[in-house]
Structure 1
Amino acid sequence: MKEVNCRRWRNTLGFSGCFIVDSLGKSGGLMLLWKSSICVCIKSYSPGHIDCLIQEPDFAWRFTGFYGQPDISLRRFSWDLLRKLKRLPELCELPWLVGGDFNEICYDSEKLGGVRRSPSQMQEFRDALDVCELQDIHSHGDLYTWVNRRRADSAIFERLDRFVACLNWRLLFPTARANSLDFFHSDHRPICIEIRWNVSQNLLEHRKLKTLFRFEKHWLLESECSDVITRGWGVSEPHRPLVDHLSGCKLALQNWAANR
């Protein structure tokens, strides 16, 4: 990814802001684009990430574009980088969204075809996400975001691309939705996250929901409670880890309780 090409794409797509990490060898490089209406401050970068602060009128949050090492023997350095980013003093308390190509899967269910992934390899990825308190944002659409483009009997599909976020970010943007798009002449599907919000209303809800969560027994007396729990748990998405089911259930109950 060369800077001159990135500038051309920025102009073609109508973005005013652009930050580029040039390619190294066969690495594709990284690019972050944003509209003039968004206040973005780049905090750090490397061949594996671009970390930025997004300043809203009443609050700030953090986005990190991430690229995991394609070489398995070096992938632990990617997880070390993620942990280091988590610990940055001036940013660690902010609502945090991370997205990109992690070059790794969390579970066997995220791969179809080919040799089975090493359990320890997947566990290292899950451990890094747990330490950083990042939870998966399930993508709507096709589960697999990468394909090796081989014939049917040797095709491999994997979920390498995703968004993950800390609980504060999920509370701040409870209606955020990730979507898997078409391949568009690439072996990766783009992942698009939709963040629809009214700034003042979301900030108000965020302050309400950030208080300590307690399940109230009297909720069980209300007819809607069972449906709220079912939707939050995500019974139609059995491949999700238990912590995501619990978190989704908690968020659904908090939203419901705050808006009754």
Structure 2
Amino acid sequence: MGDFNQVEFQSDKLSMNTRTISGAYDFNIWRITNQLVDIPFKGPRYTWCNNRKGVKRMYERIDRALGSKEWFSLFPNTEIKHYPIQISDHAPIELDLQLTKNNSQKPYKLDACVLSYDECVTLIKEIWQQRVWGTPTFRVARKLSRVRQQVKKWALDKRLEWKQKWDDFDDTLEKGMEVGIKDGNEELYTKANDEGRASRNFILGVKDPAGNWIYDYGQVGNMFYDTFFTLYNPELHVDNDTWRQLTDAFLRGFQKTVSSDDGDMLNRPYMAKEVRTAVFQMGSLKSSGPDDGGVDNDGDPLSPYLFVLCMEALSSNLLCAQNNGSLKEIRLCLGVEALSHLFFADDVVFFLHDNHNSTKSLRAILDKYCKVSGQVMNGDKSGILFSPNTMLTKA
């Protein structure tokens, strides 16, 4: 750790001079030979400035810390903190071992290649053929639990054998990298061990609305919570009685679109064959995750229908306003139906005349829809486009 006085990559240098970095080749050879990995940092990227003015000003990241595989095994969350360049031409850097980092326990993930082993497939079949007493749902849940436990145990036992094979592969790859660099290959690929790579898989810092960087682990989480709470909550929440009244009023214009036959088909009990078809339509390597109620929501066929029903209610209210004249639609060309809105997934396009009544009516419908459904319109992703014939005084 310290001032290496050497830039390793072009991204570590900011200047008008874009020529090849002198000394980078020898430095990379030295680092790879000693099996050292650059410790990740947070804060300003550059740690040195030549303090010149104009086009001669230069910034570089030459202060850094390198760690070995053994180091990352002991301190997998190690990181470097960069502070601003103030008094000296160098920025202070601080080594943080992150010994008290709050790491949540991650679920064990099974490699897809495990299922290509006949031994593993046989193990799963044997477990599934075991007799379990109880309701059908309980039997399936218990068998899935046994499969998960036994396959995990089998994979962990195999890991010792696989690790040796991967170590041999790493040694071969590392030697090939050294040969490639010595042969003049400009593309340098660095090898980071699993522990070092895992330390990068989290958010180091975020900017608050004032533009200040926040690095504290707890404050970063609060920042995300406050942002999404403000985005999806704000003042749209109403009490239950008011919500029921708004919902009843909003659904009065809901037009019947499902026939009696379709209704009977939707209300009939589902069959085992239908459940099997729905489950096996998911990808072979996909897994549905349980929500808070224990219901699998990945691949849930009801989700898109619920969203369509909400949008159908919005469409019905727009059509009612269109029919009573409070919302004036647009005819795109002669000989076609007038159009007031188009839906595509969660995107909506409205077509209105540039008059106060239409704008006011649309705004009132959207406000009611947001209060009833709990959805919020994203103003940052919304826009307005006027016809070239629109008068500015009118708009």
- TM-score of the pair, normalised by structure 2: 0.27
Higher strand share: 1
- Which structure has more RCO (C-alpha within 8 Å, separation ≥ 6)? 1
Q: Which has the larger radius of gyration?
A: 2
More helix by share: 2
- How does the TM-score come out when normalised to structure 1? 0.40
